[in-house]
Structure 1
């Protein structure tokens, strides 16, 4: 089962996203972990 973070990263990749701005913090750490892998 994929996580919400993984689903978001896959959607960003499909959309051709090259740059993503954000700030690291508690609720988005999983997203940043998936972006780095």
Structure 2
């Protein structure tokens, strides 16, 4: 996710709905790989 790193470096605001979608994706990703969500 290089684009995300770039966005963070340039302080580009990320819409809250997109952020929640991203978080949901990351949670699913962790579940798939058997990692516990801290």
Q: Give me the TM-score of the superposition, normalised by structure 1.
A: 0.42
Which of these two proteins has the greater Rg computed from alpha carbons?
A: 2
Determine which structure has the larger helix proportion and give its number: 2
Q: Give me the TM-score of the superposition, normalised by structure 2.
A: 0.41
Q: Higher relative CO (CA 8 A, sep ≥ 6), structure 1 or 2?
A: 1
